[in-house]
A and B are shown apart, each in its own frame.
Chain A
Amino acid sequence: DAGVIQSPRHEVTEMGQEVTLRCKPISGHNSLFWYRQTMMRGLELLIYFNNNVPIDDSGMPEDRFSAKMPNASFSTLKIQPSEPRDSAVYFCASTLGPIINSPLHFGNGTRLTVT
């Protein structure tokens, strides 16, 4: 089992540029989550998908953020245009079945730095 795979591991970009983060969930998992980790707020949920359908995107901070899940094995989180305050570690996680019985499996994250 390869686990949740995220790419890139590190991304450094200039303010105003478009950034795309990628995630491959564990095969067979039907729920996928994007989190952002900051010192002040810990792990914040940005959006989650169930069976490839976005269920709750209320955590997406602004219209500059968008996420897609075109199929069960791939998801992207896009920031356009990026701003310095977007600098954080972004985690993707997946799980199978009802949330109540299924811990999340996290990828190793993408550390984003916007200068």
Chain B
Amino acid sequence: DQQVKQNSPSLSVQEGRISILNCDYTNSMFDYFLWYKKYPAEGPTFLISISSIKDKNEDGRFTVFLNKSAKHLSLHIVPSQPGDSAVYFCAASADTGNQFYFGTGTSLTVIP
């Protein structure tokens, strides 16, 4: 049973525009959320995180928003660049647990 869901397998965006990747979760105990980026033939690399005490975290062009009541988070990339083309995984963990739960990933293509 997927506790973290990414319902959009793929997304295409024009260079310079905003990319919005979405993630939903079912476990209300989750309180730490992360986004990973994965290029082909490489392992996922950590991109940005947010704890449940916040509703927004920014790092350069990347912003993660958390809506706890909706059990939803999103990753915004502004402006999108061709180098951002990758698979993005959402992950979550609970303070009471000690493992991460990952979504199935969204493949982002930024068109030059």
Contact = CB atoms under 8 A, between A and B. Distances in A.
Interface of A: 4, 31, 33, 35, 39-45, 48, 50, 55-56, 91, 93, 98-101, 103-109
14 contacts: A33-B99, A35-B102, A42-B89, A43-B89, A56-B98, A99-B99, A100-B32, A100-B51, A100-B93, A103-B34, A103-B46, A104-B44, A104-B100, A109-B42
Given A41-B2, A43-B102, A99 B97 contact: yes
A50 B98 contact: yes
B27 to A, nearest CB: 14
A96 to B, nearest CB: 13
Chain B, interface residues (CB within 8 Å), range: 20 to 34
Nearest to A3: B43
B104 A91 contact: no
Nearest to B94: A100
A108 B100 contact: no
A5 B42 CA distance: 11
Q: Which 4 A-B pairs have the closest CB atoms?
A: A106-B43, A42-B104, A43-B102, A103-B46
